[in-house]
Every structure is written in C-alpha cells, then in structure tokens.
Chain A
Amino acid sequence: MKNNVLELRSLRKKFGALKATDDVSLEVEKGKIHALIGPNGAGKTTLISQIFGNLKPDSGDIFLDGKSITNTSVADRALLGIGRSFQISNVLMDFSVLENAIVAKISHSQETFRFFRPAFSDPSLIEGGFAILKRVGMEQMADRKVSDLAHGERRLLELALALAMEPLLVLLDEPMAGAGPEDTIFMTKVIAGLRGQTTILLIEHDMDVVFQLAERISVLVEGAVIASGTPDEISQNRLVREAYLGSDQ
C-alpha cells in the first residue's frame, strides 16, 4: 500500500508562452525527505507556490494525505497541514524570537479571538513557545529581537515556525540560501533530526546538503520532472548528468 502525504497529478502552469510547470506528477512518501532539484529557472519555486496555494495551477490536481486541496486557500492549507519556509526569510521582524514562537503557538491552538487576557505573559503559551524553539535549538535566544538575528538564525526560526503547526508536510524553499558554512552544517543537522517525524519536501541548490539529507530526489528541468529516484539512481542517471550536474562530471 502506498502512503503518500503529497501527490501531484499532471500539474500545469503557464506564464504566457513559458511552461513554468509542464505536466508534473510527483509523489512524496510519508516520513521521507524528498528533495527537488533543478537548474535556475527550472520552475521549482513556481511548483512549490502551487503546492502552498499562492499560485493556482492551470490544470491538474494536488492531493494532501489523499484529499484534494487544489482549490483551497493558503490559510486553509496551512491548517490542513502544510508548513513552509520561504526562499527569503519570512518571520515577524518587529517581534522577539519567543514572541514569534508564541504567535505560532496561538494560531496552532486555534484560540485566536481572545480579547482580554495578555498573550505574551500567558504561562501555557510561553511554555509552548519554548517547546517550538527547542526543536531547532533556539531556546537560548528566546529574548532576542528578530531584527538583531543573523541571517542563518532567522532561517532556523522560520523552520521552527513551519514545524510549530505540526504539519503533515514541510516545504523548505532553499533553507540554506545565504547561510554561512557553519549555519549550513547546523541546519543540515536539524533537518536530519526531523527524519521520520515529519515529511519534508526540500528545494536546495547545495548538492552536498541534498545528497546528505534526501532519501528521494526529483529533478526538474524546464518545468518538467525528468527523473525521480534514490540519490544513487539520480547520480548515475545520464539524462540528469547532462541536463543538470554538467556532462563533465
């Protein structure tokens, strides 16, 4: 029996004459880290935006845990179980690290229309916030303002916010982008630690990271998936080597 958290069926999206997504079918198995790679302009972010709901596909279907989510809104998909970290850090800049986590905790608790009790001093929310930070090892930085954080730390916080909703699927859009070598090593460790707990669709340029983390890799070229398989299969695939890794390798 197949156990797919995410399934894409012949998804298509055109921008004018450009086929940004060209008949993409993809299955992401539960508990696996699935990487999506491809050269610049292959349509990776376009594809992830359709999965997350920012963009509507022209045709095709998206299934989350067996249910079609093709026509639901971004907020509803987040509730159904898709967490996302964006390509450009997307956190609450005017808040502290803990406050970011508390907002995530509030929204996860679904008790949002409360008008009187102060939120940031609520012990259960503080505890929940710390639990969220602990998963990425940020509890030491709880009181720091996000605007004072280093780039890599912001990326880590964003991962924590994506995980806070306890999603079925986490979309990580280039989590290492702009991070220094040390941050990359730490972040890789954190993501590896999530293996088995949650399903991850990872888009990443850093091939070392991809081959360290991924259990399955799909290769996107000019909007179409040209190959899918285990890291070994992908590195042996002649088509992939020509299109992407460079024919000299």
Chain B
Amino acid sequence: MVLDLFKKFTTLWIILIVLAFFPIFTSTFDLPFWNDVVMRIMLLGMAAMGLNIVFGFGGMVSFGHAAFMGVGAYCAGISQYYGLDNGWYQLLMSAVSCGILGILIGFLALRTSGIYFIMITLAFAQMLYFFFVSLEEFGGDDGLIMDRSDFIFFDLYEPLRLYYLIFFILATVSIMLMLLIRSRFGVILQAIKSNESRVEAMGLNPLKFKLTGYVISAIICGLSGCLFASWQEFVSPDIMHWTRSGDLMIIIILGGLTYLAGPLVGAIVFLLLEELLPDLLHVLFPPISENWMIIFGPLLIAVVLFGKGGLMGVMGSKLKTAANREKT
C-alpha cells in the first residue's frame, strides 16, 4: 500500500523529500535566510492543502479560511500570555478551537452554496478578524509579541528545530490527506462535488460529509496558524486579514486544485516569486521594484487561462506528451 501511495502522489513525495534535505543545502552554502523562506512556504502550503479539501475536492469555495489560521495563532499567543508555553498543548488547543469553530461556521454556512457561501464565509472571517482587533488585552490591532513555544523534549530557539517541527507536521498532514482523499469518505466528498443531487438520491445527506470536510480543513489551517505564531514570534489580527484568505485561494489555483500536491506547488511558486521578483525588478527596472505585483498578476492570469488544472496540470500534460512522443 505504501508503494501504491508513492506511485499515486509522486509530486507530493518528491517535494517532501526535497524539503527534508533542504537545510543541508542551506548550511553547505551558508544561506540560513532561505530556511526562513521555506518555513513560510511549508506553513502557507499546509494551510492551502487544508483549504483545498473543501475548495478543490469538495467544491466549496470558502473565502474565510485565514480566520482559522488566525484562531490557531491566537491559541498559541494567548496561551503563552498566561504562561502556558507548552507547544503540544498549544497545537491541541488550536485543533480543538478550530474544530469547534468549524462545526459552528460550517453548520450555518453550508446551508448556502455558490456565491452566498463565498459571502457568508467571508463575513464570518471578518467577524473573527474584528473580534481579535477589539481584544485590547492581547494587543488589539498591534498584536502580541511572543516567544517560540516550548515542546518539552526540545525548544525552538534553534531555527532548525522549528524547521523540522513544521516539516514533521506538514508530512503527517500530507500522508493523512493521501489516505483521506482515496477513502470512502474522500470518494463521497468528490462525488458530492461532481453531482450533489445524485449523491442525495443514493440516500446520503451531503451536509454531513461537507461539514466533516469543512471541519478537517479548519483544523489543518489552525495547526498551520499555531506554528506560524512560533515562526513569526508575533501574533496580530493581520494573520487573518481577508487578503490572506485570497492568497490561499490564489496559491491553490496556481498549483492546481484537483491535485493533492497542487497547493504545495502553488505555495512554492507564489512565495518564491514574492521573494525574487522585487530583487529581479530592482536590477531590471528600479522604478517599479516595489510593485512586483505588476508582473505577478499577469503571470497568474496566464496560468489560469492557459494552464488547465494549474501548474500541476501543465506539468502533467507536458509529461504525458513527452511519454507519447517516446512511444511513437
């Protein structure tokens, strides 16, 4: 079965293996800054993979998943504010809070579909955003400075430990999702995306499955947020700003929403461009180096227009045509 999973999700495994050995590369060439960039890639990639359970596999366009990242981050921040700096506890706390919140929001929001679902998820996310802005005790708008969490067996003062903690959680989530997507539950979720009324006619209540998927995705985003707080050593409502929900959707679409590895590929490309485009523009056209989005926007449009299935789809079809050419 392990071999089977490897064959089915090759891209995802390759990315995980590269991530596992990436710090060796950075220490050999003395580029510790890039560890930091890759941690951010892993965190946003993980959140996007979580969102993609509902977005890509369940066909529910949720525009508020950054809120779950925010709740996860505040679970870490507020726990530490009261002296509870055990990281395991904080991760559990994030998962439980986001799970409960996911049930509440999902139960109400999933009564709608299409554009109304997009709007209602955005509305809930904005409510949570302003709720945390209003919490003066925890810094309100300015946020909360915090230390990296303590994981009992190890602390995170050594950046590499944080790197491998994030990697470990990402790898665990990835493997769970590989199983989930092909399980009975995963198959029914995708069947609902394909044709909800047929699934209903088979005697299944679609809401139950959509809600379960929604809660799972909320928990994954919460875990990502909790680790994000340690990485940033700072929590503020900014982490759950609606533009981040948008970023997560862009990452998924860029990478390819029908693929499990899509969001991770999207996060890699998105964040590398964010990192590299300003420098590149600084050399080529200094006047617009601040506005790297001028290049990024059209690039995104090109991928959506010409690459059916995002970057994963483009890579897949390129490989296929290459294989066909070899055959003939």
Cα A202 to Cα B328 in complex, Å, equals 51
Task: Using known A-B contacts A94-B190, A119-B182, A119-B187, determine if residue A103 contacts B201 with beta carbons closer than 8 Å.
Answer: no
Bound: A79/B194 CA distance, A? 21
Are B203 and A118 closer than 8 Å at their CB atoms? no
Q: Are B209 and A112 interface neighbours, CB within 8 A?
A: yes
Contact A90 B203 (CB under 8 A): no
Contacts of B194 in A (CB 8 A): 92-95
Which one of B1, B185, B190, B201 lies within 8 Å of A115 (CB-CB)?
Answer: B185
B window 159-200: CB within 8 A of A: 179-180, 182-188, 190-191, 193-195, 197-200
Given the interface pairs A103-B188, A107-B202, the reply to whether A118 lies near B183 with Cβ below 8 Å is yes
Chain B residues with Cβ under 8 A from A86's Cβ? 197, 201
The answer to whether A165 and B202 touch (CB under 8 A), given A112-B185, A115-B179, A119-B186, is yes
Residue of B nearest to A106 (CB): B184
Are the C-beta atoms of A78 and B184 separated by less than 8 Å? no
A184→B191 CA distance, assembly (Å) = 28
Bound-complex Cα distance A94 to B57 (A): 12
**Contact flag A112-B184 (CB < 8 Å), given A73-B205, A75-B205, A78-B203:** yes
B72, chain A: closest CB distance, angstroms:
22
Q: Mark A88-118, 1 if CB is under 8 A from B, else 0.
A: 0011111100010011101110011111111
Interface pair B201/A90, CB less than 8 Å apart: yes
Judge whether A91 and B195 touch: CB under 8 Å: yes
Q: In the complex the two chains form, is A95's CB within 8 Å of B191's CB?
A: yes
Given known contacts A91-B198, A114-B184, A119-B183, A75 and B204 CB-to-CB distance under 8 angstroms: yes
Neighbour of B187 across the interface among A84, A90, A103, CB < 8 A? A103
The answer on a CB contact under 8 Å between A90 and B183 is no
- Pairwise interchain contact B200-A74, C-beta atoms closer than 8 A: yes
Rounded to whole Å, the gap between the CB of A128 and the closest CB of chain B is: 12
Is A161 touching B202 in the complex (CB atoms < 8 A)?
yes
Residues of B within 8 A of A161 (CB): 198, 201-202
Chain B neighbourhood of A52, CB < 8 A: 201
Q: Is B97 an interface residue (CB 8 A)?
A: no
List of A residues within 8 angstroms of B206 by Cβ: 75
Contacts A117-B183, A119-B183 known; A106 to B188 CB distance under 8 Å? yes
Chain B residues in the interface with A (C-beta under 8 A): 1, 4, 179-180, 182-188, 190-191, 193-195, 197-206, 209, 212
Going nearest first, the 8 A-B pairs with the smallest beta carbon separation are A78-B203, A118-B182, A79-B203, A107-B202, A114-B184, A92-B194, A75-B205, A94-B194
